[in-house]
Amino acid sequence: MPMARSNTIPMSFPPFAGVVRRLVLANAAVYFGVAVLSWLAPGLTGPLVDTLRLQPAAVAQGEIWQLGTYCFIHLGLWEILFAMLTLWFCGSLLEGAYGGRWLKELYFTSAIGGAAVASAISFTHVLRLSPQSVANGAWAGIFGVMVGLAMRMGEQEFLLFFVVSIRAKYMVAIYILIAVAILLMNHGAFSALLQLSGALCGWLYVRYAPRRGLGYGVGEQYYAMRNAYYRAKRRHAAKKFEVYMGKQGRTVHFDKEGRYVDPDEKKDPNDKRWMN
């Protein structure tokens, strides 16, 4: 389990708040919910878990919700404990530096994108992979978070398993090499492929997504397109008005931005206050 430090070993845990807290609590709630259901109605637990876990063949048949639900399914206590501790320590650093929206987009881009990539590769049967394989757990999203940490805070030092001091970039490299080894040994290969696919999607997000996140970038593009549409509409209306007034024997002028030009008044051509 990694524990972050800078110059000295801290004696306290990182903040447990924001997106990191919501993700950890959501995973814990699903885990204990499944545990309670298996106690109350054991006959329903198996079919429910199978419906929520990731199976490429099922996704291809229309169960696309598995691309998102699988990352909340954990079947072992140590599995979820180790995963959530890693998410807490790594995610809290990124959230503190880049904000909750950025971290949330990174996590789900890695989890959902990694599931889509791994599912597609499984149909090639490379390395004896099969679309009938199943996987679950938050590790694809966590691998994306760890890659983001290595890219943005690679020199940050950790206490690996609370014992060994190691920099983030080397720690993440070790995790990736272990996943590659598992993939090549074909024991739990699909889960390892899912983790590596999540790491790839995390790298793509950090490398190419806007600094403030995809949501902010999409919003900026939307408002830019909307404003461009209204400006074009204004210019078109100005031209029609010029033609109409010309037929009435009067001459009016508009500039190239659709602003009325008063012949008796000089205006600053750089005045943009009228624009959206």
Phi-psi region of 167 (alpha: psi -120 to 50; beta: other; left: phi over 0): beta
The per-residue pLDDT for range 87-100, each reduced to its tens digit, is 999 999 999 999 99
pLDDT at 162 over 50: yes
Q: Mean pLDDT throughout 23-34?
A: 96
Instruction: Return residue ranges of the chain for CATH 1.20.1540.10.
Output: 4-209
CA distance 74 to 91: 19
Q: Where are the alpha helices (DSSP H) in the chain?
A: 18-40, 42-52, 56-60, 66-69, 77-98, 100-122, 139-152, 168-185, 189-208, 214-247
- Residue 75's contacts (CB-CB under 8 Å, 6 or more residues apart) are 49, 136
Q: How far is the C-alpha of 42 from the C-alpha of 36, rounded, in Å? A: 9
pLDDT digits (tens, 9 = 90+) for 51-73: 999 999 999 999 999 999 999 99
- HSE-CB of 222 using CA atoms within 13 angstroms: 6
Question: pTM for this one?
Answer: 0.77
Q: What is the percent of the chain with per-residue pLDDT over 70, rounded to a whole number?
A: 77
- CA-wise closest residue to 204 among 121, 118, 109, 137: 109
Q: Which CATH superfamily is domain 4-209 in?
A: Rhomboid-like (1.20.1540.10)
* pLDDT tens digits, one per residue of 109-125: 999 999 999 999 999 99
Looking at the DSSP bridge assignments, the partners of residue 164 are: 160
